Structure formats: C-alpha cells, structure tokens
C-alpha cells in the first residue's frame, strides 16, 4: 500500500483506497496515470535540482535545506516566502484530487525559466532517459528501510485522503 513499491504478480495485500498499478509500481490518489505519463516525458534541464526520493525518507527536510542554501539572501533580508510545495514543485502530484483549482506543478515547472527545484517520488527507471540526457543535479536520499516502513505505516494509518490502512503492523510489513 505504498506510493511506488515494486510489486510482483503473486503478491497479495490489503488494498488502500483507489490504489492501482503502473509500470510495475503501486500508486494511489496522490497522482494519476496521466500525470505519470507526463512525468516520464518531462524535459529536465541541466540547471535543475531534482530531489528524487522514496516516500518518507526525509524529502521535505531535504527540500527545505536545498531551498535555504539557494535562497540565503532572501532569508537574510527577512522576506516572506511561501509553502515548500510552492517553492519546490512536486512533479507528479495531483492537486485536483484534493479540490485545488491551481495549475498542476508539472505545468508550472514547464513554464519556469532558469534553475528549477523539483521534487519527485517517480522511480528512476521511469525518468531515466530524460534525466540522463539533461544531466540535472540529482539529490537521491537513502534511509534505513525499517524506518521508512515505520513512517509509511503511521502515514497510512492517519491520512484518510489515501485510504486508511485497515491492517495491523505485522500485515503492513509482511505485504
């Protein structure tokens, strides 16, 4: 019941709300097949900084650190700055699913000039051709899988928007 855990055909688990498979990965409402297809075709640029992570590995903290390093002068003069999701767009996020009428982050990114800060949970194998040809700066995070599993379990137990995980810890880590 994870965003993008590679699944095998014989694996059975208790499904979360509206989950589905695409390119051998398990997905849910945070994205759509259309957005994933757009992400696969996304034109990265050499000056981009991409934070590419598995969910719950420290993505938001890393985004914040990178943004602060890149924008130290904004902070020094005390200027206001917006939410991290506005400053560091999420390539495949489906804002419309949550009732927002804003442009998709993908569309916002395409219109930006110069250096872009990009967040994604899309696995490397889906973005590989465009990443390798553009050669952006990529920040890839690793975290102890036990810590990720614990964080994902509590994430799914407490967030109705993804469909609350109906099972217990033992089933979550087994499946």
pLDDT in tens, 1-25: 344 444 444 445 555 656 778 988 8
91: helix, strand or coil: coil
Q: Which residues are catalytic?
A: 121
The three-state secondary structure class of 68 is helix
Q: What is the pLDDT of residues 40-98, one digit of tens each?
A: 999 999 999 999 999 999 999 999 999 999 988 877 666 677 788 888 999 988 766 65
Left if phi > 0, otherwise alpha if psi is -120 to 50, otherwise beta: which for 64? Answer: alpha
pLDDT of residue 163: 67
Whole-structure pTM value: 0.82
């Amino acid at each position: 019941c994870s965003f993008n855990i590679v699944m095998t055909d014989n694996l059975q688990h208790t499904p979360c709300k509206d989950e589905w498979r695409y390119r051998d990965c398990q997905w849910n409402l945070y994205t759509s097949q259309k957005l994933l297809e757009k992400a696969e075709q996304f034109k990265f640029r050499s000056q981009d900084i991409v934070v590419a992570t598995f969910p719950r590995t420290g993505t938001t903290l890393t985004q914040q650190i990178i943004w602060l390093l890149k924008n130290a002068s904004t902070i020094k003069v005390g200027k206001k700055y917006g939410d991290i999701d506005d400053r560091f767009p999420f390539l495949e996020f489906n804002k419309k699913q949550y009732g927002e009428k804003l442009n998709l982050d993908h569309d916002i990114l395409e219109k930006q000039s110069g250096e872009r800060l990009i967040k994604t949970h899309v696995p490397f194998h889906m973005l590989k051709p465009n990443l390798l040809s553009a050669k952006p700066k990529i920040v890839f995070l690793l975290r102890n899988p036990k810590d990720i599993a614990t964080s994902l379990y509590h994430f799914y137990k407490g967030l109705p928007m993804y469909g609350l995980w109906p099972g217990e810890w033992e089933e979550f880590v087994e499946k």
